[in-house]
């Protein structure tokens, strides 16, 4: 039997704030396959997430039995590459004031101090934020647009810059993208479509550069919509999910496990020939060019 075996592998998943969404499902899939999982959490929600984890209020149940164990939770604000990038108003904010080492370079340095060189096998980018996501692109400010690209796309480049030297040859990097990178999705604004397009382009370039320099693979998963807490910020997520179900090749809702399992595959030896690729996990929606019932409706 061909199994996904990540025993002895160590993973860092950036962008985990709760037990909803694709990032959490990826954590569970990696853990179920035997990997040791640590996460990076946005400082404003770090306290709540850590308390929920300590009090066993998160969904830690693994498929096949047992519970996931998070090796460590790191504070991480991927909008900042170094501590010098943090503006005074953020540094002095009550949610940040008691924290240190939450920029990307500091988290990487903390990891290296704890685990040593070449100690990362899997790096997952589950980060996206667009402060003006509800605004049409025509109404998006420069500040909002750049913030979306910074948090949702450049953060991936920065993570690979800092964690790449810590990764073992044969390791894997995976991120999460969305169909808005290549098609118009009304309501998904604020520059987020541009950020996802940049993320996919960067995936191809990083697959080459990090592949040659560190011997790691870089891929991204284009997932269908999911009603996670983060996605609900869009405001139309339920309508999007219903539309996908009606118009996908497989008329089903996407599940978090679908994406988690695909990520585990890409990070395993079974996916060692795949790099620089956008893998669609959307029940075949991306392949459709017309609504399935369009012709039937026209014939009536």
Residues forming the active site: 178, 188
Q: Bridge partners of 219?
A: 174
Q: What share of the chain is helix, strand, coil (3-state, %, to 5)?
A: 45, 15, 40
Distance CA 53, CA 51 (A): 5
Tokens of 266: 């890409």
Q: Could you tell me if 157 and 206 are in contact, meaning their C-beta atoms sit under 8 angstroms apart?
A: yes
How crowded is the C-beta side of 191, counted as CA atoms within 13 Å? 22
Q: Evaluate whether 134 touches 235 at the Cβ level (below 8 Å).
A: yes
Instruction: Return the DSSP state at 162.
Output: H
Non-local (6+) Cβ contacts of 166 within 8 A are: 108, 111, 112, 115, 117, 118, 119, 120
Tokens of 259: 């994406």
Judge contact between 173 and 277, C-beta under 8 A: no
Report how far residue 124's alpha carbon sits from residue 78's, in angstroms, rounded to the nearest whole number.
Answer: 13
- Edge to edge, what strands does the sheet with 10-14 contain? 70-75, 36-41, 10-14, 120-125, 167-177, 217-223, 278-281
* Structural Rg of the chain based on CA atoms: 19
Distances (CA, A) of 267 to 10, 14, 30: 11, 15, 9
CA distance 219 to 210: 12
């Amino acid at each position: 039997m061909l199994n996904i075996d990540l025993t002895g592998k160590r993973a860092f998943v950036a962008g985990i704030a709760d037990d909803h969404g694709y990032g959490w499902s990826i954590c569970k899939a990696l853990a179920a396959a035997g990997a040791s999982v640590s996460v990076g959490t946005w400082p404003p929600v770090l306290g709540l997430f850590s308390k929920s984890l300590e009090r066993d209020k998160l969904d830690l149940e693994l498929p096949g039995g047992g519970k996931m164990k998070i090796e460590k939770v790191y504070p991480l604000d991927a909008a900042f590459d170094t501590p010098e990038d943090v503006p005074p108003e953020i540094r002095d904010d009550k949610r940040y004031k008691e924290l240190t080492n939450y920029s990307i370079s500091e988290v990487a340095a903390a990891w290296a101090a704890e685990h040593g060189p070449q100690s990362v096998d899997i790096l997952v980018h589950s980060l996206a934020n667009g402060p003006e996501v509800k605004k049409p692109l025509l109404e998006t400010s420069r500040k909002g647009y750049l913030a979306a690209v910074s948090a949702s796309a450049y953060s991936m480049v920065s993570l690979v810059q800092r964690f790449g030297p810590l990764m073992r040859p044969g390791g894997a990097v995976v991120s999460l993208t969305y169909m808005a990178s290549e098609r118009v999705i009304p309501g998904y604004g604020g520059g987020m479509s541009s950020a996802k397009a940049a993320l996919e382009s960067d995936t191809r370039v990083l697959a080459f550069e990090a592949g040659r320099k560190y011997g790691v693979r870089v891929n991204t998963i284009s997932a269908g919509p999911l009603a996670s807490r983060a996605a609900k910020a869009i405001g139309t997520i339920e309508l999007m999910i219903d539309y996908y179900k009606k118009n996908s090749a497989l008329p089903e809702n996407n599940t978090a496990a679908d994406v988690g399992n695909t990520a585990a595959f890409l990070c395993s030896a079974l996916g060692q020939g795949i790099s620089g690729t956008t893998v669609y996990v959307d029940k075949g929606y991306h392949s459709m060019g017309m609504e399935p019932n369009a012709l039937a409706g026209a014939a009536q």
